Amino acid sequence: MPAAPLLPDRTSDVAVLLAAGAGTRLGRGPKALLPHRGRPLVEHVTAALLAGGCDAVVVVLGAGAERVRAAASLDGPGVRVVLNPGWATGMASSLRAGVAAALEPRDGVPLARLVVAHVDQPGVTPDDVARLLAAHRPGRVTASRWADAPDRDRPRWSHPLVLDAALAAPAAASAVGDAGARAFLRAHADLIDVVTHPGDGRDVDTEADLDLLA
What is the DSSP code string of the chain? -PPPPPPPS--EEEEEEEE----TTTTSS-GGG-EETTEEHHHHHHHHHHHTT-SEEEEEEBTBHHHHHHHS---STTEEEEE-TTGGG-HHHHHHHHHHHHTS-BTTBPEEEEEEEETT-TT--HHHHHHHHHH--TTSEEEEEETTS-GGG--S-EEEEEEEHHHHHHHHHH--TT-TTHHHHHHTGGGEEEEEESS------SGGGGGGG-
pLDDT for 2 equals 43
pLDDT for 155 equals 56
The CATH class, in words, for 12-202 is alpha beta
Q: What stretches in the chain show pLDDT beneath 50?
A: 1-7, 152-154
pLDDT for 151 equals 60
pLDDT for 39 equals 92
